[in-house]
Structure 1
Amino acid sequence: MESEARRPYRMGARAAAMEVTRTRVLQAAAGLWMQRWYDDVTLQHVADEAGVSVQTIVNHFGGKDELADAVADWVASQAALTRQAPTGDVAAIVAALFEDYERHGDANVLWIAQVDRVPAIARAAAHARGQHRAWLERVFADRLPAPGPACEHALNLHHAATDVYLWKLWRRDLGLSREDAERAMCDLLTSIDPRKRNHE
C-alpha cells in the first residue's frame, strides 16, 4: 500500500524534474541563438550551457531543428507574457512592445537574417508574425474597421509601424534613446488611426 501511495508522488516529482530540465535547455539554446548564428551553435554547445548531455536534449526535443522550433515557441510565450497592455492605450501598448524588443530585438533581427537558409527559423519567423498580428488585432481592436479589406489594410499599417526593424532603425541605426523611439512609434501609430483618417 505504501509503495502504491508513493508512486504518484515519484511520478509527479519526475515530471517536474523533466520540466525543469526542458526549461533549462530552452533557456540555454535561446541564450546562445540570441548571440550567435544558427549554424554556429551545436547541440553540444547547448548541452554544455545547460549542464546536460546531448542525449538528454535528443530525448526531450529530437534534433537541432526541433529544438529551434521549441525555442521559438518558448520565446514567443515569454513575449506574450511581457506584452500585456490595455486595448486602445497607445502609450502602454508601445511600452509593452519596447519591453520585449529591448530584451529580444537584436536576437529577432539576427534570426530574421537567416530565414532564407534555415527552415526552422523560417517556421519560427512565420509563427512570430502570426502571433504579432493577433496581438495587434487585440490591442487595437477599438480602432480597427470591421473584418474586410479596410481592416486588412489597417492591420498592415499597424504591423509596419510596430515591426522590430523599425525598433532597430530608431534604437540601433539612428541611436535614438528609448524614450524618443517610443515617442516616435506613438506618434506614428496615432497618425495611422483609421478613425481619424476616416473623418479627414
Structure 2
Amino acid sequence: MEKAERRPYRMGARAAAMEATRTHILRTAVALWMQHWYDEVTLADIAKAAEVSVQTIVNRFGGKEGLADAAADWLAGRVADDRRAPAGDVKAIVAVLIADYELHGDANARWGVDAERIPAIARAIAGARSQHRAWLEQVFSDRLPAGGPAREHALNLHYAATDVALWKLWRRDLGLSREETERAMHDMVIAIDPRRSSDE
C-alpha cells in the first residue's frame, strides 16, 4: 500500500521536473536568439547554456526548428502577460508597448529577416502579428468603430502606428530616445480619428 501511494507522487515530481527542464531550455534558447541571428545559435550552444545535452533538446523538441516553434509559442505567452494595459488609456498602452519593444524590438528585426528562409521563424512572426492585432482590438476597443470597413480601416491605422518597425525606425534609424519614441507613438495614435471616414 505504501509503494502504491508513493508512485503517483514520484510520477508527479518527475513530470514537474521535466516541465521545468523544458521551460529552462525554452528560456535559454529565447535569450540566445534575442542576442544573435538564428543561424549563429546551434543546438550545442543552447545545450551548453542550458546545461543539458543536445539529445535532451532533440528528445523534447525534435530539433532546432521544433525548438524554435516551441520557443515562439512560449515567448508569445510571456509577451501577452507583459502587455497588460487598461483599455482606452492611450498613454499606458503606448508605455507598455514601448517597454516590450525595448526588450524584444531588435530581435524582432532580425527575425523579420530570418523569416524569409526559415519556416519556424515565419510562423512565429505571423503569430506575433496576429497576437498584436488581437491585442490592439482589445485595448483600443473604445476607439474603434462598431464594425465593417470603418472598423477595419481604424484598426489598420492603429496597427501601423504601433508596429515594431516604426519603433525600429525611430529608435535605431533616427536615433530618438525612448521618451521621444514613446511621445511620437502616442501622438500618432491620438491623431487617428476613427470617426473620420476613409472616403473623406
The TM-score, its normalising length taken from structure 2, stands at 0.95
Distance 1:71 1:147 in 2: 35
Letter in 1 for 2:75: V
Q: Is 1:21 paired with 2:21? A: yes
CA distance in 1 between counterparts of 2:37 and 2:155 reads: 31
In structure 2, what is the Cα distance between the partners aligned to 1:160 and 1:51? 41
Contact 1:170 / 1:176 at 8 angstroms: preserved in 2?
yes
User: Do the aligned residues in 2 keep the contact of 1:108 with 1:164 (CA within 8 Å)?
Assistant: yes
d(CA) in 2 for partners of 1:98 and 1:6?
Answer: 49
CA apart distance, 1:146 = 2.0
Structure 2 residue matching 1:113: 3-state secondary structure: helix
CA distance in 2, matches of 1:172, 1:105: 10
- State whether residues 82 and 99 of structure 1, in contact with CA within 8 Å, keep that contact through their aligned partners in structure 2: no
Contact 1:34 1:107 in 2 (8 A): yes
Instruction: Report runs of 4+ in structure 1 exceeding 4 Å deviation.
Output: none
1 CA distance for matches of 2:18 and 2:101? 30
Task: Please name the residue that 1:146 is paired with.
Answer: 146
Determine if the alignment matches structure 1 residue 31 to structure 2 residue 28.
Answer: no
Corresponding residue of 1:162: 162
* Counterpart amino acid of residue 77 in structure 2: S
How far the C-alpha of 1:147 sits from its partner, in A, is 2.4
- Opposite residue 6 of structure 2, the aligned amino acid is R
In 1, Cα distance between equivalents of 2:38 and 2:107: 11
Shift of 1:45: 1.1
Note the alpha carbon deviations across 1:40-84, whole angstroms, 9 max, x for none. 221111111110001111111111111101111111111111100
* CA distance, structure 2, for counterparts of residue 91 and residue 7 of structure 1: 53
TM-fit CA distance, 1:183: 0.8
Offset of residue 7 of structure 1: 1.1
| Structure 1 gaps, min length 5 | none
Matching residue of 2:77: 77
Aligned to 1:47: 47
- The whole-number CA distance in structure 2 between the counterparts of 1:63 and 1:11 is 26
Whether the aligned pair in 2 keeps the contact of 1:35 and 1:107 (CA below 8 Å) is yes
Q: Report deviation, 1:85.
A: 0.5
Residue 143 of structure 1 deviates from its aligned partner by: 1.1
Deviations 1:135-162 (A, max 9, x none): 0000000111122211111111111100
What is the CA distance between 1:36 and its match in structure 2? 1.5
2:96 aligned with 1:103, yes or no? no
Residue 179 in structure 1 maps to residue 174 in structure 2: no
Q: 1:193 offset after TM fit, Å?
A: 3.0
Extract unaligned runs of 5+ from structure 2: none
Query: Percent of counterpart pairs with the same letter?
Result: 70
Which residue matches 2:8? 8
Distance in 1 separating the partners of 2:185 and 2:112: 21
**What CA RMSD, in Å, does the superposition of the two structures yield over aligned residues?**
1.2
Tell me, in whole angstroms, the C-alpha distance in 1 between the residues paired with 2:34 and 2:90. Answer: 28
